[in-house]
Amino acid sequence: MNAIKDMYARWAAGDMGVDDQWGDVTAEPRGLDYAEVSAGGVPAMWLSPHGADQDRVIVALHGGGFVGGSLYTHRKMYGHLAKAAGVRVLLATYRLAPAYRFPAQVEDAVTAYRWAAGHADTVALAGDSSGGGLAVQVARREPGVAALLLMSPWIDMDPAQTATSYDGNSDPFFTRTMVRGLIAQYLPAGMSGTAPEVNAFHADLSKLPPVYVQCGGDESGRGDSERLAQQTGARLDVFDGQPHTFQMAAGRAPVADEAIGRMAAWVRPRLGL
């Protein structure tokens, strides 16, 4: 997992050029076709395993703190999920902060989901980090989501960041100061970080579909995963000793492959497979 930790260290230091190498930590999955599409005007990419079911789809929203990440940084990780689940994944991107602030990201995510729902019978949502938080917000708005698959979801937009997982944690990168800086770039001036439309912890989550959450035991943002599980009854798997979005090491680290496999096995019956 050193490659992932090094990537986050560069990113935390302000090196946004890390986007060009982010996907290098993931091994190239075989037996997939990639096709870039416009999902109702939102840039997206189909990740299609050979022989995949065409009527069941996972819409994936990438992480990157709302300021980074792309179709290219995350296509391989979600390609591994597509292969393991045996379904197509529509990986969608969204307008990035600070050039575009909330609600642009949620609007793009909802648009991509609705476009996918028009091309499949059953649609689940997946997301990592900030993409995980977006997936929760989409599921709050769209009643037809079959399931939520979340990797280290970042949900709490309150600058106070009261989660105790920040205290005494070995994660040197995702500090309260760093997260507060990302929040300041994401939210419009004067908007509260506890408003339900930006912070799902302050919203009604009673109508969410089945939720599966994974996080690393060594990540400071673990508190969001734990809090979501407490509020929703979601399945939560904490992988001891692992960093934020350790699943990016799919194809190179057995623990990442195990996590992807668990997620795929969990979602298949919820997609009707």
The tokens for 62 are 């990438």
DSSP 61-98: E--STTTS--HHHHHHHHHHHHHHHTEEEEEE--PPTT
Please give, one letter per residue, the 3-state secondary structure of 94-118. Answer: CCCCCCCCCCHHHHHHHHHHHHHHC
Angle of the 104-117 helix axis to the 130-141 helix axis, nearest 10: 60
Neighbours of 77 (CB within 10 A): 30
- Residue 150 pairs in a beta bridge with 127, 213
**Within 13 Å and on the Cβ side, how many CA atoms surround 94?**
31
Domain 2-270 carries which CATH code?
3.40.50.1820
In the predicted model, is pLDDT for residue 15 greater than 70?
A: no
What pLDDT was estimated at residue 11?
Answer: 64
DSSP 126-155: EEETHHHHHHHHHHHH-TT---EEEES---
Whole-prediction pTM: 0.95
Domain ranges of the chain: 2-270
Q: Which residue has the higher pLDDT, 16 or 151?
A: 151
In the predicted model, is pLDDT for residue 265 greater than 90?
A: yes
- Residue 237 pairs in a beta bridge with 214
What pLDDT was estimated at residue 175?
Answer: 87
Once rounded to an integer, what is the mean pLDDT over residues 238-244?
95
- Residue 32 pairs in a beta bridge with 49
What pLDDT was estimated at residue 16?
Answer: 60
Asked whether the bond before 103 is cis by omega within 30 degrees of 0, the reply is yes
Q: Which residue has the higher pLDDT, 267 or 8?
A: 267
What pLDDT was estimated at residue 24?
Answer: 87
What pLDDT was estimated at residue 8?
Answer: 73
What pLDDT was estimated at residue 3?
Answer: 74
- pLDDT tens readout for residues 90-134: 999 999 999 999 999 999 999 999 999 999 999 999 999 999 999
Mean pLDDT taken over the chain: 94
The dihedral formed by the CA atoms of 48, 49, 51 and 57, expressed in degrees to the nearest 10: -50
- From the list 213, 201, 200, the residue with the least C-alpha distance to 239 is 213
What pLDDT was estimated at residue 208?
Answer: 98
Span of 5-9, 140-144, 178-182, 262-266 with lowest mean pLDDT: 5-9
- From the list 150, 113, 112, the residue with the least C-alpha distance to 237 is 150
Once rounded to an integer, what is the mean pLDDT over residues 259-273?
98
- The C-alpha atoms of residue 152 and residue 146 are separated, in whole angstroms, by 20
Per-residue confidence band for 12, with pLDDT thresholds at 50, 70 and 90: low
